[in-house]
Structure 1
């Protein structure tokens, strides 16, 4: 890990145009992320003088016939967290990637802010996938409420119970920015599932209906 909160990042993608665009986007979007390497092959990454880094943003479909699970295992051995990116969003591919040790999975069509959030989450050791992908891989609950992580449920319970964001952050030992990020993600998951929890009142009502918050009055 680096000091001063800087995340050392490496990009691996065999599409040079996308690699160049990602390099510019990330440099312009996040002052806490230091781009150490942007390479087109996995061997280039391993041989790079700046390796190991904190987080690797890795294209799932590098054309070198090496299983992604093997790359993930190699990176894990060196203490590197990995976020996978791909044009594939099929649930089985995402599930397999996460089961193999990836901490994040983002479609290449995602907004750069989502990719930055995934990199930050991986640096903290937390899993991150977009709300749409999360809904797709947990689609056994189609027509019902979205599946929330344990931390998302805690945030929803505290905030829905009337606590301000600052108190939610304090209670859970996270930053205010992280608490806001959780709330945004919770609302997005519900939006994708067809529920509007845009207001605090609506979110509280939904939390009670879903058993996350007990009706106390």
Structure 2
């Protein structure tokens, strides 16, 4: 079955460009275009896409607010794609529940891959954005060191969290831990629920903010 994609952007040229890129793929179907966040919410309700490509700056309702309102819908994955790769936009988008962040000048190959990756249940952030975010986490002291929620995780759930924070896919985590990929997916769901997180990306942020992992040092023992 095709991956059903909704494009939300107030600029017609951007929507058309994304439609051309994604529509060229046999496994991706663009099922609609929304002109702002409010329109996107309505179309999500009616058309039930698998993935939403969401711009940030839009009239009536911006992409960040629309993403927050979709956060509790597990069937819909949001990739924020915007002209502005400012750090505050990135962090706000990820905390709002987006599972991916791309800039609009990303290559067609990266945009196509992002849709496939998030549909599989993984997360994707543009490499140049990831580097800046890790540098930012390195410079800032952990805000939630010793979070008691970590004590609720089983050893396997903690291993899965460390794998996600290291940027590994479910398949890569499964290979590392000698588990079935379907088993890893179950651990991911349970781990996110225990930590009160909405997505893998939020799990990465949590891992860095609590000091569980440190950029450049790899996962910390414990």
Q: TM-score range by the shorter chain?
A: 0.5 to 0.7
Superposed displacement of residue 77, structure 1 = 3.2
Over the aligned positions, Cα root-mean-square deviation in angstroms equals 3.3
Q: Provide structure 1 residue ranges, at least 5 long, that are not aligned to the other structure.
A: 143-147, 159-167, 175-208, 213-217
Q: Distance in 2 between matches of 1:211 and 1:99?
A: 23
1:37 and 1:50 in contact (8 A); partners too:
no
Q: TM-score, normalised by structure 2?
A: 0.60
**Corresponding residue for residue 31 of structure 1:** 26
Q: Determine which structure has more spread, i.e. the larger CA radius of gyration.
A: 1
**Corresponding residue for residue 47 of structure 1:** 42
Among 77, 87, 109, the alignment partner of 1:81 is 77
Q: Distance in 2 between matches of 1:155 and 1:45?
A: 32
Q: Distance in 1 between matches of 2:17 and 2:46?
A: 21
1:92 and 1:137 in contact (8 A); partners too:
no
**Corresponding residue for residue 107 of structure 1:** 103
Give the alignment of 1:115-134 within 5 angstroms: 115-134=111-130
Pairs aligned (count): 158
Deviations 1:127-168 (A, max 9, x none): 2101111001111459xxxxx943539999x9xxxxxxxxx6
Asked if 1:94 corresponds to 2:110, the answer is no
Q: Distance in 1 between matches of 2:51 and 2:169?
A: 27
Q: Taking structure 1 as reference, are residues 50 and 32 closer, same or farther at Cα in structure 2, changes over 3 Å only?
A: farther
Q: Distance in 2 between matches of 1:211 and 1:103?
A: 22
Higher relative contact order (CA 8 A, sep 6+): 2
Q: Provide structure 2 residue ranges, at least 5 long, that are not aligned to the other structure.
A: 140-163, 182-215
Q: TM-score, normalised by structure 1?
A: 0.61
